[in-house]
A and B are shown apart, each in its own frame.
Chain A
Amino acid sequence: MNMNMTIIGQIISFIIFVYLCMKYVWPPLTAALAERQKKIAEGLDAADKANRDLEAAQQSVEAELQKSKAQAAELIEQANKRANQIVDEAKTAAHTEGDRIKAAAAAEVEQEVNRAKEALRAQVAALAVAGAEKILGASVDVNNHQELVDKLAAEL
Chain B
Amino acid sequence: MASNSAEYIKHHLTNLTYGNHPVNGWSFAESSEQAAEMGFMAINVDSMAWSIGLGAFFIWFFAKVAKTATTGVPGGAQNFIEMIVEFVDDNVKSVFHHKNAIIAPMALTIFVWVFLMNLMDLIPVDWIPALATASGIHFMKIVPSTDLNVTLGMSIAVFVLIIFYSIQQKGIMGFLAELSLQPLGKWALPFNLFLELVGLIAKPISLALRLFGNMYAGEMIFILIALLPFWAQWMLSVPWALFHILIITLQAFIFMVLTIVYLAMAHDHH
Contact = CB atoms under 8 A, between A and B. Distances in A.
Contacts of B82: 29, 32-33
10 interchain residue pairs of minimum CB distance? A10-B153, A6-B149, A32-B69, A28-B66, A26-B105, A35-B71, A22-B105, A24-B63, A4-B42, A6-B44
A47 interface: no
Given A10-B51, A28-B66, A35-B71, A4 B44 contact: yes
A4 B59 contact: no
B71 A3 contact: no
Q: Is the interface of A mostly helix, strand, loop or mixed?
A: helix
Interface string B139-178: 0000000011110111011000000000000000000000
Interface of B: 15, 17, 19, 32, 35-36, 38-44, 47-48, 51-52, 55, 58-59, 62-63, 65-67, 69-72, 74, 78, 81-82, 85-86, 89, 101-102, 104-106, 108-109, 113, 147-150, 152-154, 156-157
Contacts of A22: 101-102, 105-106
Interface string A15-47: 101101110111111101101100100000000
25 contacts: A3-B40, A3-B148, A3-B149, A4-B38, A7-B150, A9-B43, A10-B48, A10-B150, A11-B153, A13-B51, A13-B55, A15-B157, A18-B106, A21-B59, A21-B62, A24-B67, A25-B62, A25-B105, A26-B105, A28-B67, A28-B69, A29-B69, A30-B89, A33-B86, A39-B71
A5 B109 contact: no
Nearest to A10: B153
B153 A7 contact: yes
A8 interface: yes
A129 to B, nearest CB: 134
Contact of A7 (B32, B72, B109, B149): B149
B119 to A, nearest CB: 16
Interface residues of A, number: 31
B129 to A, nearest CB: 18
Contacts, number: 135
A2 B38 contact: yes
Interface in A68-112: none
B161 to A, nearest CB: 10
Contacts of A32: 66, 69-71, 78, 82
A6 B18 CA distance: 10
Contact of B48 (A6, A21, A28, A30): A6
Contacts of B105: 18, 21-22, 25-26
Contact of A17 (B17, B36, B113): B113
Contacts of B43: 4-6, 9
B148 A1 contact: yes
A24 B55 contact: no
